[in-house]
Amino acid sequence: MLTHALIGDEGRTIELGWENGTRARFHAMWLRDNALDDKTRSAGNGQRLITILDVPADTRIGAALIKPGALELTFVPEGKTVSFPAEWLGAHAYDRVELRKGGWTSDAVERWTRATMQNSVPRAGYAAASHDRQTLREWLSAVRRFGFAVMDGLPAESGALCKVSDLFGYIRETNYGRWFEVRAEVNPSNLAYTNLGLQAHTDNPYRDPVPTLQILSCIENTVDGGESSVVDGFAVAEALQTENPEGFRLLSSYPARFEYAGSSGVRLQAKRPMIELGPDGELICIRFNNRSLAPTVDVPFAEMGKYYAAYRRFAELIEDPRFEVTFKLEAGQAFIVDNTRVMHARKAFSGTGKRWLQGCYADKDGLLSTLAAIEHGFREAAE
């Protein structure tokens, strides 16, 4: 409930107060541009129906009236009256004094280590997830929160990984095809197709945009070894920032270069930091793949030595068992990773037996959209 609304600066701003003591200021232009009426936004999909040029440059607040659970504002010179829910205003307040340190993550993200995750790997059964919205909601929410999850009960057959992507979105096809095989080959074009161990890495950092999700599905696994492991890149970045703030700054300020030219007619290149921050300092992406790293040429000479020291330490932390969660995929199991956050690896395996996995890429916006729609439906049902 709002307690007061004080118009200031000749109607260009307004200060609001809530019963819990919270206060926030808003600009008249911001409020008019974000009005919720059906002439400003579509009632069906919420999309904006006006442009900024449709809002008078001299927009001011002519009157403000507090109503139960809402604030009614009249804008001049339009003479337009709009109602804003008090809860909506509180959720969208931008009048904040605290400055967050670079490297912060949203409340929906929980960083983890081996100690907190090894015995509580998030998982769901395919049959339940495909028929029960609550089960699917919990599984998708785990991917959003932890950056990975396991799915059990898939058919041990080629293409079964599509059943996972169909739960929330679409496969992102690449030069590797709609999906790709992960098993030992003669003269392989990629180290993933050998029985060698693979260092923890994110996939395809040479693409821009990078595939944001990867799914790996097991069809057969009778080898000795070959366990899968995952590492929370956000947790590792936090550890680096804590012990070496300057190293964190270097890896998040200067771009690394990645490239791939392993197939005929394909040459992919991208230039992005290993630790990527958004404009407001939010940690949004980890790119780490030693096999795809090209020469680093975008760091000044005076900082290159410190940059390499930070890169080495980052790699050491990624290899630190404290951050590694390990599990062995059996036939009919799959796991999904947020490829902008969680690195995955594979232990070496013997030459006897068979290990056949298939992998594909998908996009996180589809997963988050499906999750948001499910959560919205649950909220509506509860009202």
Paired sense of beta strands 148-152 and 123-125, if any: parallel
Angle at Cα 85 formed by Cα 84 and Cα 86, nearest 5°?
110
Taking the C-alpha atoms of residue 155 and residue 330, their distance in angstroms, rounded to an integer, is 11
Q: Please give the average per-residue pLDDT across 23-36, as a whole number.
A: 97
Q: Please give the average per-residue pLDDT across 42-55, as a whole number.
A: 92
pTM above threshold 0.85: yes
Q: What is the pLDDT of residues 328-342, one digit of tens each?
A: 999 999 999 999 999
Taking the C-alpha atoms of residue 291 and residue 296, their distance in angstroms, rounded to an integer, is 14
Q: Which residues pair with 338 in a beta bridge?
A: 213
Taking the C-alpha atoms of residue 269 and residue 94, their distance in angstroms, rounded to an integer, is 38
CB atoms within 10 A of CB 72: 14
Q: Which residues pair with 308 in a beta bridge?
A: none
Q: What is the pLDDT of residues 290-330, one digit of tens each?
A: 999 999 999 999 999 999 999 999 999 999 999 999 999 99
DSSP, residue by residue, 31-95: HHHT--STTTB-TTT--B-S-GGGS-TT-EEEEEEEETTEEEEEEETTTEEEEEEHHHHHHT---
Structural fold of domain 114-374: Double-stranded beta-helix (3.60.130)
Q: What is the pLDDT of residues 68-96, one digit of tens each?
A: 999 999 999 999 999 999 999 999 999 98
CB 180 within 8 A of CB 360: yes
pLDDT at 46: 86
CB 161 within 8 A of CB 179: yes
CATH, domain range 2-91: 3.30.2020.30
Range from 231-235, 301-305, 374-378, 379-383 carrying the lowest mean pLDDT: 379-383
pLDDT at 187: 46
CB 162 within 8 A of CB 173: no
Hey, where are the domains in the chain?
A: 2-91, 114-374
